Amino acid sequence: MEMPIPRAGILAKKARLVEMLQAVLPAGAVVHDPVETQAYECDALTAYKCPPLAAVLPSSTEEVAAVLRICHDENVPVVPRGSGTSLAGGALPTADSVVLGVARLNQVLETDYDNRFIRVQTGRTNLSVSGAVEERDFFYAPDPSSQLACAIAGNIAMNSGGAHCLKYGVTTNNLLGVTMVQMDGTVVEIGGAHLDAGGLDLLGLVCGSEGQLGVVTEATLRILRKPEGARPVLIGFDSNEVAGVCVSDIIKAGILPVAIEFMDRPCIRATEAFVGAGYPDCEALLIVEVEGSLAEIDEQLGLIKEIARAHDPVELRESQSAEESEKIWLGRKSAFGAMGRINDYMCLDGTIPVSSLPFVLKRIGEMSGKYGLDVANVFHAGDGNMHPLILYDANKPGDLELCEEFGAEVLKLCVEVGGCLTGEHGVGIEKRDLMNVQFSTDDLEAQFWIKDVFDPGWLLNPAKVFPLESTRSRRAA
Amino acid sequence: MTLKSESELAQFVADTMDPLVIRGGGTRPVGPPMVGDVLSLGGLSGIELYEPGALTLVAKSGTPLAEVEAALAAQGQRLAFEPMDHRGLLGTQGTPTIGGVVATNVSGPRRVQSGACRDYLLGVRFVDGAGSIIKNGGRVMKNVTGYDLVKLMAGSYGTLGVLSEVSLKVLPQVETAASLMIHGLSDGHAIKALSGALGSPYEISGASHIGGGPGGAPVTFIRLEGFENSVSYRLGRLQDMLKTYGEVEAESNPETVAAQWRAIRDVEVFHDDPRDVWRLSVKPSDAPGLVARMPAGCSAVYDWGGGLIWVACAPGMDLRAGLGDFAGHATLIRASAATRARISVFHPEPAPIRAITAGLRAKFDPRGILNPGLMG
């Protein structure tokens, strides 16, 4: 992976820069010892590593502003970091960068049940936001698989989704406002506790900008009252294609489940061996969950089961208890971990129109044969967000490169059928060189304008999102 | 000027030397009076793709909204954000277009539960101020590939680009809908009742309070939608929950319920009213206090559980100046041309936001020809 050449001038002034940062931050908030900066050398895309020049851990918006002002004036790149769970290398440092970690910004600032929002510092983890409002039976809807660890800051940067976004939407649909520090230290408030923007929708622009427009330190998030209950049903099929048609039929019938998850046989087997979720051994498995009162759940699941039966499922099992539901979801949420036990894997994230599901699955199977690498599929079927996991051996020379080539071909296929490169993980460094597949030069130029306006020096989160070649002149300016 | 294709549109914008007034159906003339060549998008019309099983629809920007809604209804689906029809309120004629809905980010009562137009916008194609064709987003429900210009274009009133095509997420039509009404509540009590309902597990899709005008007593409205059994169950639970506020009347006649929410959506209460109309977006619990601060002669109605306030006030009055600082924003929707020229239609923004906005406009419309000055 090509990264910008570290600027010698910045490396040379490390000692002075560290002193300047220490002067505006509390003791222990500047990490500069080369042994310690290694902790920040990568995120969850561990194939790529590079320790930063230094890392800082500010505890307030003011401290973030002070850090950014210094880096701006010194022309030093800054890599914002939530919890480092990005699968796309969204927080990969460069050797001449300062990593700005938000881990110490973890407070709840305001909880307002009447107006249904919570205001938090963005280092707080996704799950702990729901945890903070659980006593009143409220929750924060976006639920990425990494929700135990991932920070709201990263969720906003990547516009994270989750299993339940078919009904509740992704981060951008649940974000009401942010406090953001621009690269030059300017603090801006965008949105708030009200709905809808007063002028241009800058909140929508910031969400999903991969930390390249500013550092979001506080967020106002929409919270919702929990439904009275929820219950999943497991539906097994002996063909991926039939499972795909069943998904489409459920949606067409006017039912809007909170989640429709899909797993294929390799994934089912690995998950069973790992957590013993009680999944049937079949070609394709759907987990469909609905919400509401007992009677509402019964009615909706009744309809879903009727639709499923028309497609001759090999298994049709409704959860009978809270424990059973938990076990069903444990399997799904452990799928990535289960695959990790078998092998190294690369997790793709392309989205396709739901109607193309059978075709794309078939093509991926063919590619798997061509490259000689196994693939397991687990994904959000209701919205077409696929997660093919390509298995490879990191210790085998050339295997990673082969896997990346395979992955690129799958993502190109996603774009070809009318989809996109990434549905919820973000572009990061992983997919930046494929952006030309989805976008024309003019399409990308319009995105560069946004960066030009928010961060004219192109210092924030360098080398991510866009092909390096296309931004070279801007970054050098 | 009416154009027939996106490429014709791009060529026209590239070649023009004059300011353009961009028009879909011309039914939502919000903003200060504009001078320039009218560029009509009516020629860019037609649904290009509709996949009910994938809940997605793609249409050219000049497609009549009614055509989109009819196509969806034929498959038992709908636009969940329930776009408002401005014709009654603004006294305009013409045919609302899907591009106009997107450009103005118009939503209706269901916004409080399901989100705004921008939340259902999956992709856009547009022509920037230099005449380049730009696309962003696509036609899939989850897409974080690159920066989200889709949201930026929604509600940008044609000032950053001329929309040529929009792609939308649609949702199933519901089996039934019902309303609950409580009569005679004060604004404060009404917003409390609505907050309670919105914070309940009973998934309400409308929360409005119409204050008492001359000859009318205030009514608080709640809407429930879904499968029949589910609606009747939730209706009962809410009636029980809200009985401390007074008698909670239920209405389930489909025509009556539809008419009630159309009236709320389109702010019918101010249609034949000579006064100016403002639209305020605020934190719901702030709403009654804010309304109480308004000068005598103002009337207010609430939607979105209090988060949206429609205010009628004396012609020419600068309501925003009268209110002073508040969290949220106020837009002048209906007033004489002279008033709209004098009072900023959109809410003034703090300096750093203004700088970002100005920077974006300079990039997307370097010659300043797209609805110049419309948003300030």
CATH class of B176-266: alpha beta
State whether ipTM is beyond 0.95. Answer: yes
Task: Clarify whether residues A137 and A273 are in a common domain.
Answer: no
Q: What is the pLDDT of residues B111-133, one digit of tens each?
A: 999 999 999 999 999 999 999 99
For A96, half-sphere exposure in the C-beta direction (CA atoms, 13 angstrom radius) is 19
pLDDT confidence bin for B215, thresholds 50/70/90: low
Label residues A340-379 b or e (16+ Cβ within 10 Å = b): bebbbbbbbbbbbbbbbbbebbebbeebbeebebbbbbbb
Task: Clarify whether residues A99 and A186 are in a common domain.
Answer: yes
For an interface test with B, the pick among A68, A111, A201 (most B C-beta atoms closer than 10 Å) comes out as A201
Mean pLDDT value across chain A: 95
Alpha carbons A99 and A30: distance in angstroms, whole number: 10
- Number of neighbouring beta carbons within 10 Å of residue B81: 25
Q: Six-digit token pair at A267?
A: 């994934």
DSSP B93: -
Task: Clarify whether residues A307 and A395 are in a common domain.
Answer: no
CB contact under 8 A, A299 and B349: no
A144 in contact with B, Cβ within 8 Å? no
pLDDT confidence bin for B99, thresholds 50/70/90: very high
Min distance A203 CA to chain B CA atoms (Å): 8
Q: Which residue of A has its CA nearest to B78?
A: A254
Element (H, E) at B287: helix B287-292
CB contact under 8 A, A225 and B200: yes
Q: What is the pLDDT of residues B302-312, one digit of tens each?
A: 999 999 999 99
Nearest to B45 by CA among B103, B86, B4, B8: B4
- Residue ending a domain, among A226, A246, A280, is A226
Q: How many CB pairs under 8 A join A and B?
A: 260
Task: Clarify whether residues A373 and A396 are in a common domain.
Answer: yes
Residue B1 has pLDDT above 80, yes or no: no
What angle separates helix A441-454 from helix B351-364, to the nearest 10 degrees?
Answer: 160
pLDDT at A240: 87
Question: What's the number of domains chain A is made of?
Answer: 3
Residue B212 has pLDDT above 80, yes or no: no
Q: Which CATH code, of 3.40.50.2000, 3.40.50.150, 3.30.390.50, 3.30.465.10, is assigned to B6-172?
A: 3.30.465.10
Residue A141 has pLDDT above 80, yes or no: yes
- What are the DSSP calls for B161-185, one per residue? -EEEEEEEE-EEPPSEEEEEEEES-
The residues, any chain, with a CB within 8 Å of residue A65's CB and separated by 6 or more, are A181, A185, A186, A187
pLDDT at A165: 87
pLDDT at A475: 86
Note down the domain range covering A304: 229-336
pLDDT at B276: 98
Nearest to A459 by CA among A219, A217, A215: A215
3-state secondary structure (DSSP) of residue A122? coil
Question: Is A363 contained in some domain?
Answer: yes
Question: Is A17 contained in some domain?
Answer: yes
Average pLDDT over residues A114-137: 98
Residue A228 has pLDDT above 90, yes or no: yes
B14 in contact with A, Cβ within 8 Å? no
Q: Could you tell me the CA-to-CA distances from A350 to A291, A379, B146, B170, B221 in Å, in that order?
A: 27, 10, 13, 21, 43
Between residues B331 and A163, which one has the greater pLDDT? B331
B116 in contact with A, Cβ within 8 Å? yes
Contact A388, A348 (CB under 8 A): yes
Q: Which residues of A touch B51 (CB under 8 A)?
A: 353-355
pLDDT at B213: 58
Q: What is the pLDDT of residues A190-209, one digit of tens each?
A: 999 999 889 999 999 999 99
Q: What is the pLDDT of residues B134-179, one digit of tens each?
A: 999 999 999 999 999 999 999 999 999 999 999 999 999 999 999 9
Q: What angle do CA A339, A345, A351 make, to 5 degrees?
A: 95
Residue A92 has pLDDT above 80, yes or no: yes
Residue B214 has pLDDT above 60, yes or no: no
Task: Clarify whether residues A93 and A198 are in a common domain.
Answer: yes
What are the residue ranges spanned by the domains of chain B? Answer: 6-172, 176-266, 269-342
Residue holding tokens 């406090």? A179
Contact A391, A373 (CB under 8 A): yes
Question: Is A115 contained in some domain?
Answer: yes
- Please state whether beta strands A108-112 and A187-191 pair in parallel, antiparallel, or not at all (unpaired): unpaired
Task: Clarify whether residues A144 and A38 are in a common domain.
Answer: yes
Q: Which of A249, A422, A450 sits opposite B145 (nearest CB)?
A: A422
B240 in contact with A, Cβ within 8 Å? no
- Residue ending a domain, among A336, A366, A394, is A336
pLDDT confidence bin for A477, thresholds 50/70/90: low
Q: Could you tell me the CA-to-CA distances from B248 to B191, B198, B221, B284 in Å, in that order?
A: 15, 16, 10, 22
Q: What is the dihedral of CA A200, A204, A207, A209, to 10 degrees?
A: -60
Task: Clarify whether residues A222 and A236 are in a common domain.
Answer: no
The percent helix, strand, coil of chain A (3-state, each to 5) is 40, 20, 40
Q: Which of A115, A172, A443 sits opposite B135 (nearest CB)?
A: A443
3-state secondary structure (DSSP) of residue B278? strand
| Dihedral sign computed on CA atoms, order A458, A459, A465, A467 | positive
Residue B229's Cβ-count burial label (10 Å; 0-12, 13-18, 19+) is middle
Q: Which residues of B touch A418 (CB under 8 A)?
A: 138-140
Average pLDDT over residues A320-334: 90
Residue A150 has pLDDT above 80, yes or no: yes
Q: Six-digit token pair at B69?
A: 């809604």
pLDDT at A335: 87
pLDDT confidence bin for B180, thresholds 50/70/90: very high
Residue holding tokens 């209090």? B306
Q: What is the pLDDT of residues A39-62, one digit of tens each?
A: 999 999 988 999 999 999 999 999
- This prediction has a pTM of 0.96
Q: What is the pLDDT of residues A209-218, one digit of tens each?
A: 999 999 999 9
Task: Clarify whether residues A284 and A366 are in a common domain.
Answer: no
Contact A152, A256 (CB under 8 A): no
- CB < 8 Å from B in window 100-139 of A: 112-116, 137-138
Task: Clarify whether residues A291 and A196 are in a common domain.
Answer: no
B87 in contact with A, Cβ within 8 Å? no
- CB < 8 Å from A in window 307-346 of B: 307-308, 327-329, 331, 346
Q: Which of A189, A423, A449 sits opposite B144 (nearest CB)?
A: A423
Residue A380 has pLDDT above 90, yes or no: no
The residues, any chain, with a CB within 8 Å of residue B265's CB and separated by 6 or more, are B82, B84, B85, B108, B109
Q: Six-digit token pair at B277?
A: 């109309």
Residue A429 has pLDDT above 90, yes or no: yes
pLDDT confidence bin for A342, thresholds 50/70/90: confident
Average pLDDT over residues B293-309: 96
Q: Which of B146, B154, B328 sits opposite A201 (nearest CB)?
A: B154
Q: What is the pLDDT of residues B228-253, one digit of tens each?
A: 999 999 999 999 999 999 999 999 99
- What are the DSSP calls for A203-235, one per residue? HHHHTTSTTSS-EEEEEEEE-EEPPSEEEEEEE
Domain harbouring A292, CATH code: 3.30.70.3450
Q: Which residues of A touch B127 (CB under 8 A)?
A: none
The two domains B6-172 and B176-266 share their CATH topology (first three levels equal): no
Nearest to B286 by CA among B195, B202, B349: B195
Mean pLDDT value across chain B: 96
Task: Clarify whether residues A267 and A322 are in a common domain.
Answer: yes
Task: Clarify whether residues A23 and A151 are in a common domain.
Answer: yes
pLDDT confidence bin for A189, thresholds 50/70/90: very high
Question: Is A467 contained in some domain?
Answer: no
- CB < 8 Å from A in window 136-195 of B: 136, 138-152, 154-156, 160, 171-175, 192, 195
Start-to-end C-alpha separation, chain B: 25
Alpha carbons B186 and B95: distance in angstroms, whole number: 38
- What are the DSSP calls for A285-311, one per residue? EEEEEEEESHHHHHHHHHHHHHHHHTT
pLDDT at A340: 83
Task: Clarify whether residues A194 and A273 are in a common domain.
Answer: no
CB contact under 8 A, A446 and B149: yes
pLDDT at B350: 96
Q: Which residues of B touch A446 (CB under 8 A)?
A: 128, 132, 134, 136, 149, 364
